[in-house]
Amino acid sequence: MTKDRAAPPGSAGPVDNAGPVGSPGDDATLAEQVQTLRDRIAYYNDRYYRLDAPAVPDAEYDALAAELRRLEAAHPELAVAGSPAQSVGAPPAPLFAPVVHRVPMMSLDNVFSAEELRSWADRIARHLPRDAPFVCELKIDGLAVSLTYRDGRFVTAATRGDGRQGEDVTANVATLACVPEQLDPRAGPLPRLVEVRGEVYLPVSAFDALNARQLEAGAKPFANPRNAAAGSLRQKDPAVTATRPLALWVYQVGEVDTGGGPLPEALASSHAASLAWVASTGLPVNPELRRVTGLDAVVEFCRHWEAHRHDLDYDIDGVVVKVDDFSLQRLLGATARAPRWAIAYKFPPEERSTLLLDIEVSIGRTGKATPFAVLEPVVVAGSTVSMATLHNEDQVRVKDVRPGDRVIVRKAGDVIPEVVGPVLDPPGTPGARRRPRPWHFPATCPSCGGPLVRLEGESDTFCTNLDCPAQRVQRIAHFASRQAMDIEGLGELRVRALVEHGRLVDVADLYAFTPEDFTDVDGFAEVSVRNLLAAIDASRHRPLHRLLVGLGIRHLGEVGSLALARAFRSLDAVADAPREALAAVEGVGPVIAASVVAWFSSPVNRDVVGRLVAAGVNLDEPASDAGGATEPASPVPQVLAGRSVVVTGTLPDLTRQEAEAAIVARGGKSPGSVSARTYALVVGEDAGATKVRRAEELGVPVVDAAGFAVLLRTGELPGAQPGSQPGSPGRPPPGRP
């Protein structure tokens, strides 16, 4: 759970690291500082759990909570009843009716490394048999809820609240499509009452779409999927909740009342068996659960998901490890706030707070002016971040971040770091900092001094000077990039040096270079010049779709370029085609078509193309595709019409974008995830394990690169049969209970 909380009343602002908060030699000062720490954590809990308005990153909250627990343990005389160090969540909000949990919903203790995980295991090992199994589950970053079924029928749902009393959200949870109104009787005799616990979450794809709508409406975007899920579920009007595609994973059985009848054996034996029973009733249980023996297997599971957390369409922030056997759980017991038989292994934080030093503007190849944050360096998701994107003028205004603010920075996997929002002291806080003035988008280009113009109806701002040095550098660097003409050794720094020395004005100049052109340019030794000239010469033979990408036509990316190249086969045909013909190509449409026509209508651009022709640059698309079949220039046969084909991994002859474009060009769709409606999964090198496993579970056919070639030619699946992969329906995947 990402606790992005604002500073509480009575504090001097958020802390950046958790060190000792007082001098051990001064008991009065230590007592005061411990109380300040308690007040701060209680405030953060209230903002996070009750108001769904957090503003300090999870890692910083965890450090504060750990420091409070350390101090109370070291100084028992300072411990008090009700300390947040020993409590769970926050009291329920008065907006909803209260619900008392007859079995408390506890929290979990955290560890942050394999060493700490092994220390936990060592502490409990003396109570366990040597081969006692553990269950490893993904730690879903959502909102904890409790669902109660009476005689198999859904009757109540409540939030965790403070662990003993939560909020009645029955009507809201009833809108979730994955929550059955009636448990499946095929699971066997149902207890008179059964309560299950789980996490309500918002898929990442749905979160992105929701935030896009927020920004279009001029509303503040949600900080992360967890906050969006919590805010969506805790709506007074269930109709609002129903508009949000929330989902649920059940992770535990709580109270069970058999009414004097027999207890299902699965609910009496182990955690894994109880969740298998839960799944048989129709409730959703996360498929990545694994039952393992030994800490080495636990550590391997944690490390795998730390590396693959972004393969999923939902956020996870760690792994939960539990002793599987219920009798051993009872033997280990619990503290006031957490069970001793379970632990949460937390992944490195993807959100941290730091100082926003300045906001600057970069100019891209199309003249687009993009604001970015200059930050005091901070380690996020394992790497040091000193700059982060702010997207556009509207996002800076909506997020209201200002140079001099402390801000939350988020970096998820390989995604470009972004600023989420400011960390603010509440009004009236003693010692609260006065905020700096709001930042305003500049009126002139920082590179050429020309005007910056915001186009009507768009959120983007542009430098309109085509001779802007920054645009020139970015246009040429893009032309040389791997997805375009792939000129190895010609990165942005070298392009900038050549532009500054007057050797490069446009991309056609590249093909007129001689060794003498580099003599007085720093960074070009004899060997590097020779290699660069060879790379430039090799780029003359790239196919048309790579050239179209390299020309940097606005709105035309890799997929559209490949579609146009395969539809028209030559640059002359693309340049001379009317807008209607371009727009009719699958994957192009009227916006891209208009942009292509406008680009080729420019005399400057036509001149560049003419010089590329004179330099011997290839202007045609080969007639053969990945399947080796020759296709006419007319529209591609729609052999995949209405079918969904997912691609994962790297194919020998196509990039992933090219493979997806080939599917779309044949009438198919290529979404990012596997579902029951997927026609086939195409698997290349370094394929995503989650997609492959999902295909196996659903019986979706899996094909390799050779099979994909046949699929593109015929629309048929050569030799791939549903259920032929390990772990297909009828046989659980390895490690499943």
| pLDDT over 90, % of the chain | 44
Stronger pLDDT, 695 or 633, i.e. the higher one:
695
pLDDT for residue 685 is more than 90: no
Average pLDDT of 93-102?
Answer: 81
CA 125 remoteness from chain centre: 36
Give 694-710 as a DSSP string. Answer: HHHHHT--EE-HHHHHH
Instruction: Give the Cβ contact number of residue 601 at 10 Å.
Output: 10
Q: Which fold has domain 98-346?
A: D-amino Acid Aminotransferase; Chain A, domain 1 (3.30.470)
pLDDT at 515: 93
pLDDT at 223: 73
Stronger pLDDT, 457 or 232, i.e. the higher one:
232
pLDDT for residue 35 is more than 50: yes
* pLDDT, averaged across the chain: 83
pLDDT for residue 599 is more than 60: yes
CATH 3.40.718.10 for domain 1-87 = no
Q: What's the token pair of residue 605? A: 């651009």
pLDDT at 7: 36
Question: 544-614 — its CATH code?
Answer: 1.10.150.20
pLDDT at 560: 86
The terminus-to-terminus CA distance of the chain in angstroms comes to: 26
Instruction: Give the Cβ contact number of residue 546 at 10 Å.
Output: 23
pLDDT for residue 564 is more than 70: yes
Stronger pLDDT, 42 or 731, i.e. the higher one:
42
Q: Which fold has domain 351-427+436-446?
A: OB fold (Dihydrolipoamide Acetyltransferase, E2P) (2.40.50)
pLDDT band at 18 (very low <50, low <70, confident <90, very high): very low
Average pLDDT of 166-170?
Answer: 91
CA distance 469 to 503: 13
Average pLDDT of 689-702?
Answer: 81
pLDDT for residue 631 is more than 60: no
Average pLDDT of 682-709?
Answer: 81
CA distance 403 to 371: 12
pLDDT at 523: 83
Q: Which fold has domain 469-539?
A: DNA polymerase; domain 1 (1.10.150)
pLDDT at 686: 67
Average pLDDT of 21-50?
Answer: 67
Which residue do the tokens 């989650």 mark?
690
Average pLDDT of 387-399?
Answer: 88
3-state helix, strand, coil in the chain (%, to 5): 35, 20, 45
User: Of the spans 315-329, 453-467, 613-627, which averages the highest pLDDT?
Assistant: 315-329
SS3 374: strand
Q: Distances from the Cα of 579 to the Cαs of 547, 594, 595, 601, 620, in angstroms?
A: 20, 6, 9, 12, 20
Of 4, 14, 56, 5, which Cα lies nearest the Cα of 429? 14
pLDDT for residue 244 is more than 80: yes
| From 113-127, 465-479, 542-556, 629-643, the region with the lowest mean pLDDT | 629-643
CA distance 405 to 569: 53
Global pTM? Answer: 0.54
Stronger pLDDT, 121 or 7, i.e. the higher one:
121
Stronger pLDDT, 43 or 292, i.e. the higher one:
292
CA distance 512 to 510: 6
pLDDT at 730: 30
Backbone phi and psi for residue 354, each to the nearest 5 degrees, phi listed first: -160, 180
pLDDT for residue 573 is more than 90: yes
CA distance 81 to 112: 27
pLDDT for residue 714 is more than 70: yes
Within 13 A of 554's CA, how many CA atoms are on the CB side? 15
pLDDT for residue 4 is more than 60: no
pLDDT at 48: 67
- Residue 411 annotated in active site: no
Average pLDDT of 86-102?
Answer: 71
Average pLDDT of 41-47?
Answer: 72
pLDDT for residue 639 is more than 60: yes
CATH 3.40.1360.10 for domain 635-737 = no
Domains 1-87 and 98-346 share a fold: no
Domain spans of the chain, in order of start: 1-87, 98-346, 351-427+436-446, 469-539, 544-614, 635-737
Stronger pLDDT, 295 or 459, i.e. the higher one:
295
pLDDT for residue 333 is more than 90: yes
CA distance 681 to 695: 7
pLDDT for residue 359 is more than 60: yes
Which stretches of 163-282 are DSSP H helices?
170-173, 204-216, 225-233, 238-242, 266-269, 271-280
pLDDT at 626: 41
pLDDT for residue 59 is more than 50: yes
SS3 522: coil
Q: Distances from the Cα of 296 to the Cαs of 128, 301, 305, 328, 329, in angstroms?
A: 16, 9, 14, 20, 21
Annotated catalytic residue within 3, 139, 322, 399: 139
Burial class (CB in 10 A: 0-12, 13-18, 19+), 735: middle
CA distance 49 to 93: 9
pLDDT band at 655 (very low <50, low <70, confident <90, very high): low
| From 127-141, 223-237, 589-603, the region with the lowest mean pLDDT | 223-237
Stronger pLDDT, 562 or 59, i.e. the higher one:
562
| From 214-218, 544-548, 666-670, the region with the lowest mean pLDDT | 214-218
pLDDT for residue 723 is more than 50: no
CA distance 135 to 146: 21
- The CA dihedral of 174, 175, 179, 180, to the nearest 10 degrees, is 70
Let me know how long the chain is: 737
CA distance 336 to 88: 9
Backbone phi and psi for residue 310, each to the nearest 5 degrees, phi listed first: -90, 5
| From 31-45, 294-308, 327-341, 465-479, the region with the lowest mean pLDDT | 31-45
CA distance 670 to 659: 9
| From 355-359, 382-386, 529-533, 733-737, the region with the lowest mean pLDDT | 733-737
pLDDT for residue 381 is more than 80: no
pLDDT for residue 165 is more than 70: yes
**Who's near 123: CB < 8 A, 6+ residues apart?**
none
CA distance 340 to 322: 9
pLDDT for residue 628 is more than 60: no
Q: Which residues face 620 on adjacent strands?
A: 570
Average pLDDT of 235-243?
Answer: 86
CA distance 485 to 481: 6
pLDDT at 550: 94
Of 364, 424, 336, which Cα lies nearest the Cα of 54? 424
| From 110-124, 145-159, 221-235, 605-619, the region with the lowest mean pLDDT | 221-235
CA distance 212 to 616: 44
pLDDT band at 430 (very low <50, low <70, confident <90, very high): low
User: Of the spans 107-116, 132-141, 410-419, 422-431, which averages the highest pLDDT?
Assistant: 132-141
